[in-house]
């Protein structure tokens, strides 16, 4: 690829797997996350690969730190070609546990952490008249699901934001991609206590994402059989949809 890629949430899960996958393609990959030790471990794995991985510790909820990290990456490695805003978290919440604290935490990380990344990159991409922003959302953003009122709301917000920005960014020659994975084996999904159909390994997810980024696709979603079922569910009338989702309530 011979490109510079910035991945937030790059120390584990999908971010880690994608960093290694793009490094295999020859990219220079900057990875960010809060755990410096984990970042260093991933960066060390580049020694036997075609590209390079550079650790840049970061808390994406710190607006100033996000802007400074973007500047530091470009100063040390070179202009960023692709920004993959992947950092996010999950918290299962039932109606009995409904809490504004949980909403605030998820919005701060999942939404504002991405917003700060876009805010840091857009002026750079506009000045160069090129660039690529990729936002990792989730199929949970397609429709409301039981126990995901906070998490799903943040992911729906990301999808809507990307759809809104794309027409303007197209005119500026800036690609916009929204990534909507199904279940992928990560430290977050390992905590789930329910059936996760078609759960994928992070390396397989990273391969799908890398290929979609190369095509500059607007949406990258997988696995296909799971995705089409959920997209069909978006077309169902409420009476039918709630008949199905009530079965998920224990």
For residue 129, what pLDDT is reported?
96
User: Which of 143, 184, 144, 180 is CA-nearest to residue 162?
Assistant: 180
Catalytic residue (one of 116, 151, 238, 241): 151
For residue 189, what pLDDT is reported?
63
Give pTM, 2 decimals. 0.93
Query: Tens digit of pLDDT per residue, the chain (250 long)?
Result: 689 999 999 999 999 999 999 999 999 999 999 999 999 999 999 998 999 999 999 999 999 999 999 999 999 999 999 999 999 999 889 999 999 999 999 999 999 999 999 999 999 999 999 999 999 999 999 999 899 999 999 999 999 999 999 999 999 999 999 999 988 877 766 566 656 666 789 999 999 999 999 999 999 999 988 888 889 999 999 999 999 999 888 7
For residue 194, what pLDDT is reported?
56
For residue 226, what pLDDT is reported?
86
Set out the domains of the chain in order of their start, with CATH numbers: 4-248 (3.40.50.720)
User: Which of 61, 179, 180 is CA-nearest to residue 117?
Assistant: 61
What's the CA gap between 243 and 35, in Å, rounded? 43
Contact status, residue 37 vs residue 212, Cβ threshold 8 Å: no
For residue 168, what pLDDT is reported?
97
φ, ψ of residue 25 in degrees (nearest 5) = -80, -5
**Which tokens hold the place of 218?**
């607007």
Provide DSSP, 85-107: E-------B-GGG--HHHHHHHI
Q: Is 151 a catalytic residue?
A: yes
**Which tokens hold the place of 146?**
């039981």
For residue 84, what pLDDT is reported?
98
For residue 185, what pLDDT is reported?
79
For residue 183, what pLDDT is reported?
80
């Amino acid at each position: 690829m011979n490109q510079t890629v910035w991945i937030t949430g790059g120390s584990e899960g999908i971010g880690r797997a994608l960093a290694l996958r793009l490094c295999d393609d020859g990219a220079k990959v900057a990875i960010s996350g809060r755990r410096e030790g984990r970042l260093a471990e991933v960066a060390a794995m580049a020694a036997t690969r075609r590209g390079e991985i550079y650790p840049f510790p970061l808390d994406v909820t710190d607006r100033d730190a996000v802007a400074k990290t973007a500047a530091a990456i470009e100063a040390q490695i070179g202009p960023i070609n692709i920004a993959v805003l992947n950092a996010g978290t999950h918290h299962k919440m039932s109606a009995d546990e409904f809490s504004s604290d949980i909403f605030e935490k998820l919005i701060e990380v999942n939404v504002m952490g991405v917003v700060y990344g876009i805010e840091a990159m857009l002026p750079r991409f506009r000045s160069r008249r090129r660039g690529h922003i990729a936002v990792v959302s989730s199929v949970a953003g397609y429709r409301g699901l039981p126990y995901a009122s906070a998490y799903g709301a943040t992911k729906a917000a990301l999808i809507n934001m990307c759809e809104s920005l794309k027409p303007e960014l197209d005119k500026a020659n800036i690609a916009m991609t929204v990534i909507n994975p199904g279940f992928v084996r990560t430290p977050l999904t390992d905590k789930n206590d329910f059936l996760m159909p078609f759960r994928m390994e992070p390396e397989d997810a990273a391969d799908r994402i890398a290929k979609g980024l190369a095509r500059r696709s607007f949406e990258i979603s997988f696995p296909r059989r799971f995705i089409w079922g959920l997209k069909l569910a978006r077309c169902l009338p409420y009476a039918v949809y709630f008949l199905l989702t009530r079965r998920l309530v224990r």
